[in-house]
Structure 1
């Protein structure tokens, strides 16, 4: 079958169920071993196992395509009364091609994962053929790349560290496409690249919502005949803007003027109290002294005044473990302020000292991990899966936990932050942990039923409450859905920064996220001089970000915090931080308009910002140049 719409042609093979898209004589077809299929509790089900299959051309007022129906599936002699449709169509006004999977009758089969549409055939061993993955800040995988791509974190779930943005793309000799998930809440991507190539495969997967596929799943392809990764990022930026979700820092500053105060700050990450419970996976039974430590508010105040005396002009401090009974313990019942460290009075004195120095002060908090040891813990408000089970673990310091249903989080945020305010503590910022790193939760408890999409909305309600109180919002990373309500983050690193220093890079690090959102979210960057051959300061400059002056890890060798590296004196850290802060003052609210790999050498890179500032780095010579 063949359907043409302006310069786009959709070709469909009724035998293989494959689609091929042709645009300006360039063909994009699925890889040869792909078979449309679903992984179900009943086993793997192929689309062509449907007892009744029909296809027809379908013209609408918007475009033309092919509508297919699949009814009744037979496997191993068992017939399942399940049916769905697919609709693949080209939009007349834009040339965009939409792949829609539509559940019709959900009986008999229980889908665990749906793999459709297929991965594109992408087999040429050429460095001008490359794949773009939105794993953290961004990855560009040439088909010739020598290092194998390992499994993406969070299984490539969109809305997590594995997929900051719900899209992927590929370019072959300057012809490319971007595939955008318009329904990303229960979706992600899978990717494969063997050592040395000669191919990279990437495709989408969908999971059920509360046990059912429940709603139409849509993946939009935009095909471009002459492009690079910059163009694809700008296509996505335009899409986000069309949805009303491109909320810039300039806009956010009109609501909360202190956004301007955060730009150009050096970031300091410190803690007060750590208590690792014996039933935590992090508990060190052989070295019990390592499980607990305490630093008073007065000591932190002294350190802040010393940094001020050293000439640090603008600074933001993120404070961990400020409440009883210590970091990552008994959330969401996380008060009062740590008594042994000085209590509410000591914490207020620290906050006041920060403000005397002209600094900004914020705290770590948590409204997802639901600790069984919390005073008000009630299993009825933990997330319950569709099968009636309540997931949990005991990885973090506080020991056994479930997950707080997101419907409850805004109430707890209001309760706890009112208590802080009642004790006279003025917060400038607050960090709600894991919200923008981990996937949204689902809950099938009829008292507070919640889909993943609902969960993201409830997380945003938490951010919006803080903004209404004049408190700037932060979370762990920078998921796409949070951009309208998020001012800054803990970090938005490249994937390799989360691995042990010296590990082989699995792709060329490119700032896909910043090419879309640089002027929307403030991102502090790791500043470690890892070795004489690797200095993370260069990435901070290239990305026009804020610097970490001090970053004390909550857990050793976790979340990119490693003991390896070259130790620098405080004076040198301050000097380096000042260089990055000065640049951030100039470009923090600017769009990153272009990123370049110079001379065909990925170790030579340049970024250009909308005010004309360029940053050129040479990762081989460990040098940088800033020009205006």
Structure 2
């Protein structure tokens, strides 16, 4: 048994089982007894203990102490593969934080697909006070006794996607807790297991190759806390991202782009102009061809804006889909010119002018990842290429057959297209670059524009930063750690259950982990659907101090939470009243930190959020009521 100790933290490595135990403040955090460190390779599964040579040594640095373990030659069925790697486990003297590092040394003989290390904790007690925190979308708290089985998270829990807005998870037991922060998130993610009714929840990390190899050191940091809850873990992470320069508040963003202040308090309206579903698209409906094609003129959209103004909507942001000639989700990145059937450039400019005359903000949908084969500039040489030379393709969306545009090319297309919009006299306040903050970063092995996943995120941010340099507020589908410095707002940042059919069982208790870290950094509009007498999404909008959706026309009905658009458009006056309440709160707290979020111990149906200006929002989900006060 190897041991390292510093401050109040002790770490033990079992040299035979290769498992770890950490102790701090009387709390013990041990890896599962049946956990086996392992790698999944093209050649089969290899346990770390399958190495022909394994050695362990203690070492010291100027800031702490650690254990280095070396693994050389992986053996399977009598064959030895000359693959080598190391693990480092170290404790920092100043902070007491425990670091786990996996380092490839010699990548020969094996083609690694996934590494499962460090291990998941023993977490077996059937207690409500034992819970797991997952950053699947806005946030999820899973008590060990929760009655619903946990499903595989979207994007398999990959960090940098909708399945992992932030690169951490945590667990709390009887007031003691830990937060596990992935410091190299580009090719990592998490997995979690919770059967119906528990009595346990297990969560751990997975690692995958970059450009066909493990290539670089992977680092995870654990911080052990006493007398904590999920709020404390979130604030640990907020401090961490602040230290790394990733925390950029709306107040800071408004210094460069003052129109950030104009967006706060807006009701969001999401409408389209042209729909055209290609016959080869998986969404094409041959039995109802009228559903595949539709055009609403720019002039009609302008009249709708004037009507909303007459109904008393004070602040509004119009997000316009399908404004290009080819229609929504078609022919990207060659989207202009403006749709001729809807009135062309002249009427699109008139719509923008009308929106501004009403005192509203105007923005457009655009796309620089889906690379449609019917785009005039399509060239598969600029499509993302896998290590084996193949080019991923599909025909899921309206535009039909597509590949993925290598993000190295995206900034040039953004400049070209938005320069044309400007030349046509169309003043944009905002722009939405679809899927960038929802989908995983891409990799490209074409030597002419080689791109790692980390590179991809940097190129996506370059696109956002270009928009900001032109005075256009940047937006994308969801939110993510890597985009915070360059993103002003998003399409939504919902709880995971909101994208399921209404009435679907919740996988845990929805808690705003993302907003406890980043509320004052990114503006988030919220769905306002009243899906039943027992569930009103407006209450979540209030608790999160978010902006409201006044109208959210579905690009693809039944997808991305678009289940009740027609029902909720029935009474526009009532909808406006509801939105006014949410908009008024959002205008007040948009640039405030969410300090704390409470679930009432006596009545868990009552939730409260506390903002840095003293605003307190209380919601009773059982009574479907709310109360807003100032402390």
Partner of 2:551: 550
Partner of 1:589: 591
State how 1:167-182 maps to structure 2 within 5 Å.
Answer: 167-182=168-183
State how 1:5-404 maps to structure 2 within 5 Å.
Answer: 5-404=6-405
Distance 1:564 1:11 in 2: 55
How far does residue 564 in structure 1 lie from its aligned partner after superposition? 7.9
Distance 1:388 1:223 in 2: 44
Q: Which stretch has the larger CA shift, 307-316 or 597-606?
A: 597-606
How far does residue 514 in structure 1 lie from its aligned partner after superposition? 0.1
Q: Deviations over 1:413-449 (max 9, x none)?
A: 0000001001000000000000000000000000000
Partner of 2:436: 435
- TM-score w.r.t. length of structure 1: 0.99
Aligned counterpart in structure 2 of residue 574 of structure 1, from 537, 559, 576: 576
- For the 8 Å contact 1:132–1:170, the answer to whether it is kept is yes
- TM-score w.r.t. length of structure 2: 0.99
Partner of 2:601: 599
How far does residue 311 in structure 1 lie from its aligned partner after superposition? 0.8
Aligned residues: 628
Distance 1:152 1:304 in 2: 39
How far does residue 565 in structure 1 lie from its aligned partner after superposition? 8.7
Distance 1:136 1:355 in 2: 33
Distance 1:32 1:387 in 2: 38
How far does residue 78 in structure 1 lie from its aligned partner after superposition? 1.4
State how 1:514-553 maps to structure 2 within 5 Å.
Answer: 514-553=515-554
The alignment partner of 1:171 has SS state of strand
Partner of 2:619: 617
Distance 2:567 2:426 in 1: 37
The alignment partner of 2:601 has SS state of helix
Distance 2:378 2:194 in 1: 45
The alignment partner of 1:599 has SS state of coil
- For the 8 Å contact 1:63–1:90, the answer to whether it is kept is yes
How far does residue 245 in structure 1 lie from its aligned partner after superposition? 1.1
State how 1:352-501 maps to structure 2 within 5 Å.
Answer: 352-501=353-502
Q: Deviations over 1:569-625 (max 9, x none)?
A: 100000000000000011000000000001344321000000000000011100000
Q: Deviations over 1:80-131 (max 9, x none)?
A: 1010000001000000000000110110111000000100000000000000
- For the 8 Å contact 1:508–1:602, the answer to whether it is kept is no
- For the 8 Å contact 1:530–1:565, the answer to whether it is kept is no
- For the 8 Å contact 1:149–1:194, the answer to whether it is kept is yes
Distance 2:97 2:483 in 1: 26
Distance 2:182 2:604 in 1: 29
RMSD: 0.8
How far does residue 54 in structure 1 lie from its aligned partner after superposition? 0.1
Give 5+ residue unaligned stretches, structure 2: none
Matched, 1:504 2:505: yes
- For the 8 Å contact 1:544–1:588, the answer to whether it is kept is yes
Q: Which stretch has the larger CA shift, 4-13 or 374-383?
A: 4-13
Give 5+ residue unaligned stretches, structure 1: none
The alignment partner of 1:349 has SS state of helix
How far does residue 6 in structure 1 lie from its aligned partner after superposition? 1.4
- For the 8 Å contact 1:97–1:220, the answer to whether it is kept is yes
Q: Residues 439, 294 of structure 1: CA spacing in aligned structure 2 closer, same or farther, 3 A cutoff?
A: same
- For the 8 Å contact 2:38–2:115, the answer to whether it is kept is yes
Distance 2:156 2:566 in 1: 30
